[in-house]
A and B are shown apart, each in its own frame.
Chain A
Amino acid sequence: MISLHGLTKVFAGGVRALDAIDLTIADGEFFALLGPSGCGKTTLLRTIAGLETPTSGTIRINDTDVTSLPPGRRDVAMVFQDYAIFPHMSVADNIAYPLRIKKVPRAQRTARAAEVAATLSLGGLLDRRPSQLSGGQQQRVALARAIACHPRAFLFDEPLSNLDARLRLEARTFLKRLQRDLAVTTVFVTHDQAEALALADRIAVMSNGRMVQVGSPTDVFQRPATTFVAAFIGSTPMNLLPGKIADGALHVAGATLPSPTGLPDGTDIVYGVRPEYTDLTTTERPDAFPGAVSVLENLGTSTLVTLETAGPLIQTVVPEGDEPRLGTRAWAVPRRALIYRDDLLHTTAP
């Protein structure tokens, strides 16, 4: 278990990278720190590792206060974005390096390295140098080195970002199974929302050194707490449309929709609906957003349609074969939508 309390990091020069972070990560949990670059996610990971000293706040790992312990005594293993496998050592020596530091006898070290390497299908590569390995193999050597030292927690900094797209999917599945088998608490940093959704048991979405939302992938995807999270999560960005309550109804981008309860007339809201949760029709209806089809983007099994309306652009996803023609007048019907007030989630749309 890792628990952070009031963790703050202010860099020289006044940049507040972490702002009073409170977080508890359960035993064996696969936890993602997600956010755009510069949001403080890597600083948070490095602070947990001990590579950065927090300005204030505490870090506890399994009920031991490690805030002032050096990295080597926190019993965590970190895999760096660039893997940082030592180029002058063989694969076996790399994997056994943590054990060498712990003064494990050579024979035992070699046996342990071979054992871990075998579970990660690196068995035949023990004598190779890192320069003789492919990107995927290098990543597995870095993982093997982390596993070899039996840490209480794994810390991964963008573990998949250096692999090419196809290998990344493969490595994602592999990593998820490995973490489940080892059942070691794992924190990983990513800027890729799809990676976070796919891998993590829980996700913390960060922005400007704060945690904007912490929850399961389903929570974060279906009920983003703020418009920032709503815009960040999802492979096609959510439509966030300004609207207003008037005459007991909700007026958004040319559509008249039922008003959520408890909001007086004249309230400004933001209506959020994912492109996947809208249907496209060519028959006029009052509870749909009217527009002209201006862009078609083929997504393989579906097509992303962009409608040009009087106000903002609206995107919707239509299944294969149902693509409208460019320039057609069409209506986007929201199926499942959220209503935000002052950038915070107010309620789901009725």
Chain B
Amino acid sequence: MIRHTIGRLASTVFIAVTLALFTLPMLWLASAPFDATPTITTSIPEFTLRNFAAILDNPYALGSIRNSVIQGGGAAALVVVLAALAAYALSRVRVPGRDLLLYLLLLLSSVVTGTAAMVPVFELATRLDLIDTHLGVILVVSGGLLPAGIFILKDFMDETPTSYEESARVFGASPLQILRHIVVPLVRPGLATIAVWALASVWGGFLFQFILLRDPDKAPGSVILYTLFTEGGAPKLDLISTFSLLYSLPVVAMYLFVSQRYGFRFHGGIKR
């Protein structure tokens, strides 16, 4: 009995400590922007909104959020459309070696947007005149996200019984109509998942944006964050924390919206 109580107590303490460890950075992010003199420790802030005024004065801060929206949104749209088409085809058509192909793509995707491919990607972008363009960033990051996107969406497609599509086919629906009327609505939660995941990855992505964009007017927030250091390399914690908070809010809001809207699956219509 006592042993049991001690066991319960130990596990509760362990969970509390672990949770606290992960909560502290969040607390810091929530408190530091409002602190007149933030440090790397979390403390009750000396309340001020001056940091927000300072960030708004920064010539690149707001523009960088717009750039993030363009690059993240563009990549998300491209990934959703291409991954949906590819996943549908891979799920419905018998291609010899289909699984091998998918796993190879998945494996290579970490190379495409990995550090190893930095030089070739830069070289390619230079030759295609894509340096310093939103399109260049969108194409490169989409290339890295697509395999995993296809992989996840194919699972959603596989779960959708083919009899829905066959039924529509017998009624005379064209392949495009079947895609629009039946398949897209059925896998909409999957599409939303992929869109959020793609946008969030690009939002936080740094390396390729840093390499492919020279002009600070085109740089996304993740790159601008890197400029908020003094010449000596010391972080300006007040600006960094404030910008971090502002920069993470849109993603959090989007996540909440999508999860509320699509965080459910359709049931029924197929008798199992």
Contacts and interface: CB of A to CB of B under 8 A. Distances in A.
B173 A87 contact: no
A200 interface: no
A131 B163 contact: no
Contact of A72 (B173, B185, B269): B173
Interface stretch (B30-38, B129-137, B164-172, B246-254): B164-172
Given A83-B270, A131-B266, A88 B186 contact: yes
A323 to B, nearest CB: 40
A102 B172 contact: yes
Interface string A80-91: 111111111000
B167 A78 contact: yes
B267 A82 contact: no
A85 B170 contact: no
Contact of B268 (A76, A81, A133): A133
Given A82-B161, A88-B266, A162 B170 contact: no
A51 interface: yes
B157 to A, nearest CB: 15
B26 interface: no
B182 interface: yes
A98 interface: yes
A84 B164 contact: yes
Contacts, number: 95
Q: How large is the interface on A (under 10, 10 to 19, 20 to 34, 35 or more residues)?
A: 35 or more
Nearest to A149: B171
A131 B269 CA distance: 6
B97 to A, nearest CB: 15
Interface string B71-91: 000000000000000000000
Interface in A94-147: 97-98, 100-102, 129-133, 135, 138-139, 145
A84 B171 contact: no
Interface string B253-272: 00000000000001111111
Nearest to A157: B163
Contacts of B163: 80-82, 84
A224 interface: no
B177 A101 contact: yes
Contacts of A131: 266-269
A150 B62 CA distance: 60
Interface string B180-196: 01100110100000000
A83 B170 contact: no
A98 B182 contact: no
Contacts of A74: 170
Contacts of A138: 268-269, 271
Interface centre among B174, B186, B269 (most CB of A within 10 A): B269
A101 B186 CA distance: 18
Given A84-B269, A129-B268, 10 more contacts: A72-B172, A77-B170, A78-B166, A78-B170, A82-B161, A84-B167, A85-B269, A87-B269, A98-B171, A132-B268
25 contacts: A71-B170, A72-B174, A78-B167, A82-B161, A84-B161, A84-B167, A86-B164, A86-B182, A86-B269, A87-B266, A87-B268, A87-B269, A97-B181, A98-B172, A101-B171, A101-B173, A101-B177, A129-B268, A130-B269, A131-B266, A131-B268, A131-B269, A132-B268, A149-B171, A155-B170
Interface of A: 49-51, 70-74, 76-78, 80-88, 97-98, 100-102, 129-133, 135, 138-139, 145, 149, 155, 162
